[in-house]
């Protein structure tokens, strides 16, 4: 199951050439990941308050394929690729219509508030496992 998050490119997102500054794609995919987790019914504030754990980006492998420009309407597609005890592997793409502008392979890890790795809680794993199964159908 993939999740789509829409956004518009604002002037503040662009550089002097009028194209989206490369680091802003990371902001776009971060927002999309937050909305993906929310759409799955996972409350990250409660996860931190109740379990003392957070999700953090461990690795991003990014490809910049084509520039986005001021006022473009974009969509970020997020799909779960793999799930292990403490890691979540995602594929994220930034699209303008059917044109792929940016792709990223993102690895998230589950950490305690002190930064130590910890297993993803069973209830969250069930939700994420269902998302993996849905995406394979």
CA separation, residue 129 to residues 38, 44, 84, 93, 111 (Å): 15, 17, 10, 21, 19
d(CA 120, CA 126): 10
Q: Of the residues 13, 15, 50, 63, which is catalytic?
A: 15
Determine whether 15 is an active site residue: yes
Q: Find out whether 100 and 64 touch, Cβ atoms under 8 Å.
A: no
What residues are labeled active site?
Answer: 15
């Amino acid at each position: 199951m993939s999740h789509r998050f829409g956004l518009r490119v604002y002037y503040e997102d662009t550089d002097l050439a009028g194209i989206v500054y490369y680091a802003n794609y990371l902001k776009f995919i971060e927002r999309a990941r937050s909305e993906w987790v929310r759409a799955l019914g996972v409350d990250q504030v409660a996860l931190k308050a109740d379990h003392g754990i957070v999700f953090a980006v461990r690795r991003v492998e990014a490809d910049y394929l084509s520039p986005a420009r001021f006022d473009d309407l974009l969509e970020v597609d997020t799909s779960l690729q793999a799930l292990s005890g403490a890691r979540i592997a995602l594929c994220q793409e930034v699209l303008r219509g059917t044109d792929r502008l940016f792709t990223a392979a993102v690895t998230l890890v589950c950490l305690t508030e002190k930064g130590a790795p910890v297993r993803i809680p069973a209830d969250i794993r069930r939700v994420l496992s269902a998302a993996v199964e849905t995406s394979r159908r």
